[in-house]
Chains A and B, each alone.
Chain A
Amino acid sequence: GEDVEQSLFLSVREGDSSVINCTYTDSSSTYLYWYKQEPGAGLQLLTYIFSNMDMKQDQRLTVLLNKKDKHLSLRIADTQTGDSAIYFCAAANQAGTALIFGKGTTLSVSS
């Protein structure tokens, strides 16, 4: 069935790069998404990549998409304590009726 998987925890030091990985099964997504959730808040759309692209860069964020392996990653350069949050990967289901979310990766940044 349709599924999106990601590791649950990542711990980095301030100033390092963070890489959060995600794999997905069959998807009809035109876009693949990364959402960020800060404590006690809703999900904020962080960035997305068109499914025909390999890479998208947006300031400190780099999204890489390997469509053959169905692998998506989010790289945060120069990670700051304010980047501490839960990051969700999402892709559309086969029917295109809803997004399927991974369980979220909790990023902890220590100073």
Chain B
Amino acid sequence: DVKVTQSSRYLVKRTGEKVFLECVQDMDHENMFWYRQDPGLGLRLIYFSYDVKMKEKGDIPEGYSVSREKKERFSLILESASTNQTSMYLCASSSLSSDTQYFGPGTRLTVL
């Protein structure tokens, strides 16, 4: 079975802090994705990556950056956290040959 893990289930940070959210997948998938989920807005794509060291902006990249130094790991970085980044963050991965995405359990981030 595909396993996607995220470093934290719950995280509380202060405004202005630098925040790292980590995602690891064990299926050798090429593609990895970061979404945020907010009530009434569904899932919105922040960034995705097709390969190591490659990244593409999604629909809402402002205030975020990403890093993919190894194939299995995709990190989301909030350079200076703000209260409007309080959200549920979901990581997903898929193989090059399929658009089926497999999700991690999510990280609920609260920025105070």
Contacts and interface: CB of A to CB of B under 8 A. Distances in A.
A11 interface: no
Contacts, number: 50
Given A48-B100, A101-B42, A42 B105 contact: yes
User: Which of A30, A48, A88, A101 is most buried by chain B, counting CB atoms within 10 A of its CB?
Assistant: A101
B72 to A, nearest CB: 17
Interface residues of B, number: 22
B56 A97 contact: yes
A42 B100 contact: no
A12 interface: no
Given A98-B33, A103-B40, A103-B41, A44 B101 contact: no
A29 B90 CA distance: 22
A103 B102 contact: no
B54 to A, nearest CB: 12
Contacts of B58: 98
A43 B33 CA distance: 13
Interface of B: 4, 33, 40-43, 45, 48, 56, 58, 90, 92, 98-106, 108
15 contacts: A8-B40, A30-B99, A31-B98, A31-B99, A41-B106, A42-B103, A42-B106, A48-B100, A92-B99, A97-B48, A98-B33, A98-B45, A103-B40, A103-B42, A104-B42
